[in-house]
């Protein structure tokens, strides 16, 4: 077999592997919440009164990093709340989307990670029924971006995740608002459901670390 034929065969195999991984149907992938860490003994009391999904979806986005759904579901709020990726072939054609199970939402899986981020920064995150809950500073979070997508390369696929949240409070250092962004990328020969899961999980964890860092800066 000549070098040229061998190269063509390898390219074809890589393409088919990637195409088979990007099945044309919908994938339902669950995301396990992080293990909750304990509140610090001392710290500013806060309560996350809302975590809102504010992502904007498009039917035919110009780039794959923009959240998108099929035409018959682009206005389906229930599906949008669970969608976090879209499969595409090497030509950019949409094949199938990746969604959370019906008992999960993007905002819902973000909340425990953000609570951990606040605790790691020295805040006490209180829940209804906790002493001093009523006096805790209300914190609102908007999920501006959370999306995973494939970037096709010559020999491998880049699986990206982009996450961004906007955090605001009625008083204290967060009163002027805080926006935190993160992007991760992993390299794969092919992408399967477990890889979509890992991409989203890593994106949430890394975003949480950055939220903690930014909260620490505000308190300095």
pLDDT in tens, the chain (220 residues): 554 444 443 444 444 444 444 455 899 999 999 999 999 999 999 999 999 999 999 999 999 999 999 999 999 999 999 999 999 988 878 889 999 999 999 999 999 999 999 999 999 999 999 999 999 999 999 999 999 999 887 778 999 999 999 999 999 999 999 999 999 999 998 899 999 999 999 999 999 999 999 999 998 7
DSSP state of 57: -
35-52 per-residue burial string, b: 16 or more CB within 10 A, e: under 16: eeeebeeeebbbbbeebe
Encoding tokens for residue 168?
């605001």
Which residue has tokens 């995301």? 31
Question: What are the start-end ranges of the H helices in 70-126?
Answer: 77-82, 106-120
Does this model's pTM top 0.85? My answer is yes
Domains in the chain: how many in total? 1
Assign residue 59 the CATH number of its domain: 3.40.50
Question: Residue 171's domain spans which residues?
Answer: 3-219
């Amino acid at each position: 077999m000549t070098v040229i034929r061998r190269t063509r065969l390898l390219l074809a195999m890589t393409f088919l592997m990637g195409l088979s991984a990007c099945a044309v149907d919908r994938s339902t992938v669950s995301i396990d919440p992080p293990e909750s860490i304990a509140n610090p003994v001392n710290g500013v009391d806060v309560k996350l009164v809302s975590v809102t999904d504010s992502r904007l979806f498009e039917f035919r986005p110009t780039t794959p990093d923009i959240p998108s759904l099929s035409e018959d579901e682009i206005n389906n709020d229930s599906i949008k709340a669970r969608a976090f990726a879209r499969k595409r072939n090497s030509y950019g054609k949409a094949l199938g989307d990746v969604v959370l199970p019906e008992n999960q939402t993007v905002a819902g899986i973000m909340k425990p990670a953000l609570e951990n981020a606040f605790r790691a920064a020295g805040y006490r995150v209180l829940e209804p029924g906790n002493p001093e809950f009523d006096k805790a500073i209300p914190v609102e979070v908007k999920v501006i971006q959370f999306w995973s997508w494939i970037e096709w390369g010559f020999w491998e696929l880049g699986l990206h995740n982009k996450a961004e949240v906007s955090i605001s409070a009625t008083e204290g250092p967060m009163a002027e608002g805080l926006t935190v962004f993160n992007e991760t990328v992993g390299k794969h020969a092919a992408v399967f459901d477990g890889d979509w899961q890992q991409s989203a999980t890593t994106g949430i964890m890394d975003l949480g670390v950055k939220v903690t860092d930014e909260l620490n800066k505000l308190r300095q």
